[in-house]
Structure 1
Amino acid sequence: MHLLPKTHFLPNMTATSRLTDDCLELIFFWCGSCPIVLCTLAKVCKRWHAIARRPVMWRRLTLDKPVLFSAYKRLLVSPSLQPQLESVRHLNVAKPYETLRHSHLSPLPLSTGLRNVRALSTKHLCLGEIHTLTKQLPLLHTLDSDRVETWCAIQPLDVTDLLLTHPLQHVNICFGHVSGFITIVAKPLPFAVASVQTLSIVNMRDADYFHFLTLVTEIALLEQEAQEQVYYGQGLLDDEEGGAVTLEHMIVSRWKALESKQADKYAWIAQLPNLRHLKFGFCYAWPAAVWRGAVLPQCPKLESLTLYGWTRLNPPKQESQQQLQQQQQNQWLSIQEDAEQAIVACFAAMGESLKTLTLDDFWVSGRMKLATRKRAHVILRNSSELLRDGGRRAERILNDMHDFIVVNQPRHDITVHLDAGWKTLDQQWLDQRE
Structure 2
Amino acid sequence: MTGTTPASTLHETPAERAPLRRTGWLRRHRAIAAFSAVVAAALGLVLWAQLSPKGDAVPLSVHNAGPEGARALTQILGRHGVAVQDAGSYEAAMAALEAGSSPTLLLYDRNGFLDGPRLLNLAASAQRMVVVSPRLQTLDALDAGIRQAGVVPDASPVLEPGCSLPDPQAAGAVSGESGFLYDGGTSCYRPDGSGAGLVAASSDGRLIVVGSTAVFSNGELDRLGHAALAIRTLGPSPDLVWYIPTFEDLETRGSPESLDELAPDWVRFLGPWLVLVALAAIAWRGRRLGPLVFEPLPVVVKAAETAEGRARLYQDSRAVDQARDNLRAGTLVRLSGHLRTGPGATAGQVIEAAAQHLGRPARDIQELVNERPGTEARLVAWSRELDTLEKEVKSR
Give yes or no for TM over 0.5.
Answer: no
The TM-score with structure 2 as length reference comes to 0.22
Q: Which has the higher contact order (CA 8 A, sep 6+)?
A: 2
- Which protein is bigger by CA-based radius of gyration? 2
> Which of the two has greater strand per residue?
1
> Which of the two has greater helix per residue?
2
The TM-score with structure 1 as length reference comes to 0.21
